Amino acid sequence: MSQMSSRINTCTSGITLASWNVRGMGHPIKRGRVFSHLKMLKADIIFLQETHISPTQQSTFRARWISQVFQASFSSKARGVAILFKKNIPFHLEKMIADPQGRYIIVSGHINSFPLTLINIYGPNFDCPDFFRKIFGLIPLALSENIIMGGDFNCYLDPYLDRLSTKTPPTLATVQTLNNLLKAGNMVDIWRLCHPTGRDYSYYSHVHKSYTRIDYFLVSSELVSKVCNVKYHNILISDHSPITCELQNIVSKPAYAWQFNSNLLSDPAFVNYMKVKFAEFAEFNDTADVSDSTLWETLKVVVRGYILAFESSKKKEMNRRLVEIENMLKITEQKYKSSLSISDYNKILQLRYEYNTILRQRVEHLLLKLKRKQFELGDKPEGLLARQLRGIRAKQAIHRIQSRSGDLITDHKEINNRFRDFYTELYSAKFSASESELDSFFKDLALPRLSDSARESLDSPVTQSEILEAIKSFPSGKAAGPDGFGCEFYKFFSSKLCPFLRRMYDESIVNKQFPDSLYHANICLLLKKGKDDTDPASYRPIALLNFDQKIISKIMANRLAKHISEIIHPDQTGFIPGRFSFCNVRLLLNAMRVAQKSNSTAAVVSLDAQKAFDQVEWPYMLYALRKFGFGDFFIDLVKAIYLHPSSSILTNADRSTPFSLQRGVRQGDPLSPLLFNIALEPLAVGIRKHPDIRGIKMGDLEALVILYADDLLLCISDPVSSIPSLLEYLKLFGQLSGYTINWNKSELMPLSQNFDPNLLASFPFKVAREHLTYLGLQISWDPKTIFRLNFQAALEKLRTDVERWKLLPLSLIGRINAVKMITLPRILYIFQNLPIFLPNSFFQQLDAIVSSFVWAQKTPRISKMHLQKASVDGGLGLPNFKHYYWAANARAISFWQLGSREGLILNSTPLWVKYEAGSVTKTSLPVFLFSKVSPSNTLINNNFIIKNSLKILNQIKRFTNAPLTSVYTPIMCNHFFLPAKMDKAFSVFESKGLRTIEDLYVDGTFISFNQFKDKFNLSHIHFFRYLQLRHYVRQNISHFESKPSDHTLFGFLHTDPTSKQLISHFITVLRSTPDTTKFREAWAREIGSEITEEVWVESLSRVLCCSVNSRYRLIQFKVLHRLHYSRTKLHKIFESISPLCERCKIEEGSLTHMFITCPVLQTFWSRIFDWLSKILEIKLDFDPIIVICGCSALSSTFPYKIQQVVMAAMIVAKKLLLLNWKSPSAPSFKHWLAEMLNFASMEHLCSRRPSAQKYINHIWNPIISYFK
C-alpha cells in the first residue's frame, strides 16, 4: 500500500479528471469562476454535479477549451449532472444513458483505442440504497469494463474516517449497500486506497459545523495501476471541494503550438510595449552584417519572445496571490479541523472571499468581452450567429483510419503516422518527364502567350503598397501557420513590419530562395462531404501557411489575376475574374438539348480528378509557365516558393514530424488556384485540338470542354472513337503532369436512347441515366426534372433547417439574418445557375416557410414589404426571393448584349452566348434585351433555355414598367425593323457606326438628315432609308424627338455583364420602398402634434445607426412601425380585455399613452430629459416626437454625437417600458441610468474594434467619463 501511495505522489503526466459539486451554474459570473478554477486545476475530463441547468440551456457549458458536453438536466433550480471533455481529449462516444431526473449520466466510448465508461452521480441527500442499486444495475449495459464513477454521493463510506463532527454518526442503509456494491463490482475508492488511515474532507456543513467526505472517484480494479495523484482541493466557490486524479498512458501529450492571442491588440499597454520593442529590435539588430532574410527570421523569434514575456508577467502577478491564498487556506483549514476555532473559521471565510474576488475580476473582464461580442454580433450575420445556426460541433477528431492493408487503426499516434505516410507518398514525385518528352507534348499545342505588357507587369519588383494591399485583403480569424502569427498581427503592426518584409522579399527573389520558415506549413484535414471517414483519401488537406509566405503569394496572385484570361480559354471559369460557373451550366444545358433533339449518339462525361491540386508535377508546371510566355522573374519566384517546402500533419492532438513535398500546389496558398489552372490548360487545349475527340455540334459551334478549376466535363459525340482517344490522351497527360482520374467516381450520362449498352459497359465510367451531379446541382435535359431535383429539394432542405432553428433563442432580426446568411446564398446559387421559369406557387411556398420562421410561428404583425426595406429606409433587409430570382437571371441574360455581330467575333464571349445567338432566327439576342419580345418558338427554335429566360425578362420588364423599346435596341438583325433585313445598305450604315437607336441622337435630339449624312459620312441618296429609321423610332418610342431618359432596367442590362456585385445593384433597382405615411400619421394623431416628413425620413434612416446592437435597432424599428400590442389594440381583438391602461386605470392604453402620456410615466420622462440637458449641456425639453422618433426638428440642429446620445437614451427608455409593459408602475430612473451605463459601456467597448472605433469613440467617451 505504501508503494501505491508513493507511486501516486510521483506521477506527473496523463489525463486529469476532476469531480465537483458546483451548487449551480446558472449565473454567468459563477459559471466563469467555476470554469476559471477548473482550468487552474488543469482538468481534462470534468464531472459536475448540481449544475442547475435546464434542458433548454445546453449551450451554457460551451467554452473555447471545451469540445464535448454530455449532460442530464432536471431544472434551473435543482440537480443536473454533466461530463465535459477538454479539446485535447479525443473521446469518441459510443453509448450514453442520461437520467431524466438529473441525478446521473453514463457515457461509454474510447479515448484513442482505450475503452472507458464514465459515470457521474449526484446522490440523493437522504437514505436511499435503491438509488445505488439502480446505478450498479446499469453498469452491465456499459460497453467497457474500465469504469470510473465520480460525483457527489451524499453518503460517506466510512462513518469514522470520513466525518469530522462531535455528533454520533447515524446508521444509514446506503452506507452498507454502497460498500457491498463496490466489493461485488470489484471497484475501489481510489483516494482511500492510497490513504488507508488518512483524513480529508470534501464538504463542510455550515448548519451542522461538520466536515464529511462524500465526493469520490470509484474505479474498477483494472484501472488502479493507471491512476495517480488523487487529491482533494480547497473548498472554494462552492461548499464542496473538487477532487482530482490522473490517468496515465491514455492519451499522448498534445503538440504545443504557440498562437498569437489577437485580444492583446485591444490592450493599450501591450500596443505601447510592442512599439517600444520594435524600435529596440531595429536599433540593436538592423546592422550591415545581418542579411535581410536573417533579420526577418530573427524578428519573428524575438517578437514572439516579447509577447510571451508580456503575457507571462501579467499572469504571474495574479497567480502569485492566488497561490498565496491557497497555501494560507490549506494551513488554516487544517488548523480549524482540529481546533474548530471561530477565529480560524472567520479567517477561512476572509481568504475565500479574497480568492473569489480575484477570480471574479478576471471572469468579469472575460465576460465583458463576451457580452461585447454578443451585444455587437449576437443577431448579426456573423460567425457568432452562424455557429448557432449550423450547430456547434465538437472539435473534429479522427478516431479510426484504414492502414495500408485495410485494417482499422484506432491509436491516435498511429493515425497521425498513417496520414504522414499517406501524404509523404502523395506528395512524392511520381513522374520525372524529360525535357524532350515535354517538348514533344507541347510542340503541336500552339498555346497562347502572355502579352509583353502582362509579362512586364508580372516581372516588376514588389512594392510596399502591394504588401499593404495584400495584408488588408486577408479576412481576420483565419488559422495561423506554424510560426503562430495570424493576419490580425500583421494588419495591426503593418507599418512596423512592411519595411522588413519588403527587404526580405527583395533579397529572397535575388537569391531565389526564401527564409526557411516560409517553407513549412501545418496540414489540417477536412472530411469531404459524403466520404468514408476511415479512408485517408477522403480528407481534403488544407495547408496552414505562415502569413509572410501567403503575402508574397497573394501579391503575385493579384498580379496574375489581371492577365490570366489572356492565356486561359473561356471554357475554364474557375478562379478567373469575370467568369462565372453559370456559364458552364448554361453551355451544358444547351449542349444536352441539342444532342437530345438530334438524337445522335452523344454523352456527357464528368471526370473526377484524384487529388488534382496535390499531384501537379513541378517540372511540368514550370515548363508550362515558360510555354505560356511567363518571364524569368515570375518563374524564378514560383521556383523559389517550391524550392524545398515541408509540412506536418495535424490530427487530433498530434503533429507529425515534418516531411518534404516534391509536387502539388498547396490548398491554402492564394497563388495555387491560378497555377493549377495554368497547369491544366494544356490538357484542355490538347483535347480541343485532338482530331479524334469530337464534341457536340451546335450549329457552327462545338461544345467539348467545360471546366471549373479541376471539375472537368466533356460533351462527347461519336463516343466509339472519341472516348478511346480521350482515355489515351488523359494517360499521356497524366504521365507528364501527375493528373490522375478516379474512374470509380467519374460518370457518363448518355444523351440519346440509341446508345449501345455494350459500348457503355466497355467504358470505365459509372453510368448516370436520369441526371448528372455537377457543381452541386442536379443536371438533366428535362426542365421538370431540374425543377424537382433542385428547387423542390431546396424547399425541403429549408423546412428541415427551420425545424432546427426554431429551438434557437433568436430575435426577429436574428431570424431574418439567419435567412439572409444561410438560406439566401443556397437558393441564390440555384437561381444563378439554372434558367428555369418558376411558377408563383414556388415563391408562395418559399415565402410561407420563411414568414412562419421569421414570426416564430405567429401571425405576422406587419407586411413583409416593410421587413424587406433596405436598412437605410428603416427596414430589416429580409430577402425578397423573387427579386433575387429576377436579378440572378437578369445578370445571366445581360450577356445577350454580346450577341451582336461585334460581340460574336470576340474570343472572350462565352460559347453559350454564341450558340444562343445563332439559335434565334430573324432577329438577335440584343433585340430580346432591349425590346418587348414574346417568347415565340418560331424565333427561338423551341429552345427552352431562351424561352424561360425571355419569360423571366418579360416579368421584370412588367414589374419595372420598362418602356417597350430602349435606345440600346440594335438596328440590324431586328425583326421589328424589316428594312434592315432586306436592304444591304443598312449593313454599310453599321460599319460606319450606326448600330443602335441611341446612335440616331445628337445632343439629346433626334438626328436630322443633314446631321445623319455628316455623322456617318453618307450621301443624299439615303434619305428614304433615313425616313424608314425615323418612322421605326417614332412608332416605338414616345416623343421620339428628344432622347428618352435611360430606364434603370435597360441601364442594368447594358452594363458590362462581368461587373462585380451586379446582382446586388439590380436588387436595388427592383426594391420599392413601401409607404409608411400611415404610421407617421397614426403617431401624429395620437401625440396631437405634426411629425414632418423630414423628421420621419430621418428617424427611419437612423434605425440602422442607432446602435451596433441589432436588438436595440429592432426596438426602434418596432416602435416606428407600431408593432407592439397596446391595450386598445388588444381590446379590439379580444373584447374581454379592458382598453384601459394598466398603470393609471383611467385612460385608454393607446401606444402613445403607454409609451409617453400616461401620468405614471411623467416623472420618469422628465428626469431623463433633465439629465440629458444637464450632461449634454443643452436645452432639451420633453418632446413626444423625440421619444418616438429619436429625433426632432430641434435635435437635428445639435452636433452629431449629441443626436446619437439622445437617440440612444430614448431607445434604452423604451426598452425598459417594454420590459415593464404590463407592470402597474413605471420603470425607475435609477434603472434607466444603469441600463444607460451598460449601453454606453458596450458601445464604447465595441469601439476597440477598428471597424467601429471612429463611429463610437468620440460619442461615448464623455458619457463614460460622467458615470466614472
Q: Give 292-304 pLDDT, tens digit per residue.
A: 999 999 999 999 9
* Domain boundary pick from 377, 398, 433: 377
pLDDT for 394 equals 38
pLDDT at 395 over 70: no
Mean pLDDT for the stretch of residues 1077-1103: 91
pLDDT at 366 over 60: no
Of 89-98, 1004-1013, 1258-1267, minimum mean pLDDT range = 1258-1267
Answer for the pair 888, 828: CB distance below 8 angstroms, yes or no.
yes
pLDDT at 371 over 70: no
Amino acid (one-letter) located at 860: P
pLDDT for 381 equals 47
Instruction: Say if residue 352 is in the same domain as residue 426.
Output: no
Answer for the pair 366, 32: CB distance below 8 angstroms, yes or no.
yes
Question: Which tens digits make up the pLDDT trace of 649-685?
Answer: 998 778 999 999 999 999 889 999 999 999 999 999 9
pLDDT band at 239 (very low <50, low <70, confident <90, very high): confident
β-bridge pairing 520-527 and 646-651: parallel
Instruction: Say if residue 241 is in the same domain as residue 372.
Output: no
Question: Which tens digits make up the pLDDT trace of 830-849?
Answer: 999 999 999 999 999 999 99
Give the C-alpha separation, 1106 to 1256, whole Å. 11
Give the C-alpha separation, 18 to 237, whole Å. 15
Give the C-alpha separation, 427 to 665, whole Å. 10
Give the C-alpha separation, 1084 to 133, whole Å. 72
Report the predicted TM-score, pTM, of the whole model to 2 decimal places: 0.79
Find where cell 487556506 sits.
329
Strand partners, 147: 117
pLDDT at 170 over 80: no
pLDDT at 5 over 50: no
- Quick one: which of 882, 884, 881, 847 has its CA closest to 863? 847
pLDDT for 373 equals 45
Q: Is 841 helix (H, G, I), strand (E, B) or coil?
A: helix
Instruction: Say if residue 624 is in the same domain as residue 733.
Output: yes
Question: Which tens digits make up the pLDDT trace of 557-584?
Answer: 999 999 999 999 999 999 999 999 999 9
- Quick one: which of 779, 818, 787, 782 has its CA closest to 802? 818
Q: Is 116 helix (H, G, I), strand (E, B) or coil?
A: strand
Question: Which tens digits make up the pLDDT trace of 173-208?
Answer: 899 889 888 887 788 899 988 888 888 889 888 777
Q: If you ran DSSP here, which 8-state letter would residue 1148 be given?
A: B
Amino acid (one-letter) located at 1113: R
DSSP output for 361-412: HHHHHHHHHHHHHHHHHTTSSSHHHHHHHH--PPPP----EE-TTSPEE--H
Those residues with Cβ within 8 angstroms of residue 387's Cβ, 6 or more apart along the chain or in another chain: none
Give the C-alpha separation, 427 to 35, whole Å. 43
pLDDT band at 806 (very low <50, low <70, confident <90, very high): confident
Domain of residue 115, CATH code: 3.60.10.10
pLDDT for 333 equals 79
- Is residue 228 a part of any domain in this protein? yes
Instruction: Say if residue 639 is in the same domain as residue 677.
Output: yes
Find where cell 421619444 sits.
1187
Question: Which tens digits make up the pLDDT trace of 1112-1140?
Answer: 888 999 999 999 999 999 999 898 999 99
pLDDT at 3 over 50: no
Instruction: Say if residue 289 is in the same domain as residue 360.
Output: yes
pLDDT band at 47 (very low <50, low <70, confident <90, very high): very high
Question: Which tens digits make up the pLDDT trace of 337-350?
Answer: 777 777 777 677 67
pLDDT at 380 over 50: no
- Percent residues over pLDDT 90 in the chain: 52
Alpha-carbon dihedral sign for residues 527, 749, 770, 896: positive
Answer for the pair 243, 231: CB distance below 8 angstroms, yes or no.
yes
- Is residue 710 a part of any domain in this protein? yes
CB atoms within 10 A of CB 1263: 22
Please give the residue that has the higher pLDDT: either 1252 or 498: 498
- Is residue 409 a part of any domain in this protein? no
- Quick one: which of 561, 581, 560 has its CA closest to 572? 581
* Domain boundary pick from 742, 774, 806: 774
pLDDT band at 598 (very low <50, low <70, confident <90, very high): confident
pLDDT at 369 over 70: no
Instruction: Say if residue 607 is in the same domain as residue 742.
Output: yes
Strands (E) located in 221-374: 227-232, 243-247
pLDDT at 248 over 90: no
User: Is 928 exposed, middle or buried, given 0-12, 13-18 or 19+ CB atoms closer than 10 A?
Assistant: buried
- Is residue 396 a part of any domain in this protein? no
- Quick one: which of 253, 262, 320, 278 has its CA closest to 88? 253
Answer for the pair 602, 590: CB distance below 8 angstroms, yes or no.
no
pLDDT for 384 equals 42
pLDDT for 761 equals 86
- Is residue 965 a part of any domain in this protein? no
Tally: H helices and E strands in the chain: 50, 33
pLDDT at 58 over 80: no
Instruction: Say if residue 330 is in the same domain as residue 425.
Output: no
Q: Is 372 helix (H, G, I), strand (E, B) or coil?
A: helix
Alpha-carbon distance values, 261 to 190, 304, 655, 1225 (Å): 39, 11, 21, 48
Give the C-alpha separation, 964 to 957, whole Å. 9
Full residue range of the structural domain in which residue 101 is found? 2-247
Answer for the pair 555, 506: CB distance below 8 angstroms, yes or no.
no
Give the helix, strand, coil percentages of the chain, each rounded to 5.
50, 15, 35
pLDDT for 876 equals 82
Give the C-alpha separation, 851 to 667, whole Å. 40
- Quick one: which of 31, 26, 808 has its CA closest to 367? 31
- Quick one: which of 479, 480, 498 has its CA closest to 278? 498
Strands (E) located in 341-404: 401-402
User: Is 514 exposed, middle or buried, given 0-12, 13-18 or 19+ CB atoms closer than 10 A?
Assistant: buried
Mean pLDDT for the stretch of residues 973-998: 90
Instruction: Say if residue 322 is in the same domain as residue 448.
Output: no
pLDDT for 696 equals 93
Answer for the pair 726, 687: CB distance below 8 angstroms, yes or no.
yes
Of 729-738, 944-953, 1003-1012, 1251-1260, minimum mean pLDDT range = 1251-1260
pLDDT at 941 over 90: no
Give the C-alpha separation, 160 to 154, whole Å. 16
Instruction: Say if residue 305 is in the same domain as residue 220.
Output: no
Give the C-alpha separation, 918 to 230, whole Å. 83
Answer for the pair 589, 779: CB distance below 8 angstroms, yes or no.
yes
pLDDT at 59 over 60: yes
Mean pLDDT for the stretch of residues 818-834: 92
Helix (H) or strand (E) holding 439: helix 435-442
Answer for the pair 71, 80: CB distance below 8 angstroms, yes or no.
yes
- Is residue 1202 a part of any domain in this protein? yes
pLDDT at 881 over 70: yes
- Quick one: which of 629, 624, 817, 851 has its CA closest to 739? 624
CB atoms within 10 A of CB 587: 27
Give the C-alpha separation, 1066 to 1049, whole Å. 8
pLDDT for 529 equals 79
Q: Please, what is the average pLDDT of the chain?
A: 87
- Is residue 759 a part of any domain in this protein? yes
Alpha-carbon dihedral sign for residues 953, 957, 963, 966: negative
Of 503-507, 519-523, 1234-1238, minimum mean pLDDT range = 1234-1238
pLDDT for 957 equals 92
pLDDT band at 850 (very low <50, low <70, confident <90, very high): very high
Instruction: Say if residue 237 is in the same domain as residue 284.
Output: no
What's the Rg (C-alpha) of the chain? Answer: 37
Instruction: Say if residue 242 is in the same domain as residue 279.
Output: no
- Percent residues over pLDDT 70 in the chain: 91
Give the C-alpha separation, 829 to 820, whole Å. 13
Q: Is 468 helix (H, G, I), strand (E, B) or coil?
A: helix
Would you mind telling me the total number of residues written for the chain in this entry? 1268
Give the C-alpha separation, 14 to 389, whole Å. 36
Of 3-17, 702-716, 1196-1210, 1220-1234, minimum mean pLDDT range = 3-17
Answer for the pair 69, 36: CB distance below 8 angstroms, yes or no.
no
Those residues with Cβ within 8 angstroms of residue 171's Cβ, 6 or more apart along the chain or in another chain: none
- Is residue 672 a part of any domain in this protein? yes
Largest CA distance in the chain: 128
Those residues with Cβ within 8 angstroms of residue 988's Cβ, 6 or more apart along the chain or in another chain: none
* Domain boundary pick from 355, 377, 399: 377
- Quick one: which of 560, 553, 556, 555 has its CA closest to 575? 560
Question: End-to-end distance of the chain based on CA atoms, in angstroms?
Answer: 61
Instruction: Say if residue 211 is in the same domain as residue 320.
Output: no
Considering its fold, how many domains does the chain have in total? 4
Alpha-carbon distance values, 1085 to 1078, 1079, 1088 (Å): 10, 10, 5
Give the C-alpha separation, 1080 to 557, whole Å. 53
User: Is 484 exposed, middle or buried, given 0-12, 13-18 or 19+ CB atoms closer than 10 A?
Assistant: middle
pLDDT at 1107 over 60: yes
- CA dihedral angle for residue 582, residue 585, residue 590, residue 593, rounded to 10 degrees: -140
Q: Is 655 helix (H, G, I), strand (E, B) or coil?
A: strand
- Quick one: which of 862, 781, 388 has its CA closest to 585? 781
Of 174-188, 365-379, 1241-1255, minimum mean pLDDT range = 365-379
Question: Which tens digits make up the pLDDT trace of 894-911?
Answer: 999 998 877 777 788 899
Strands (E) located in 546-613: 602-607
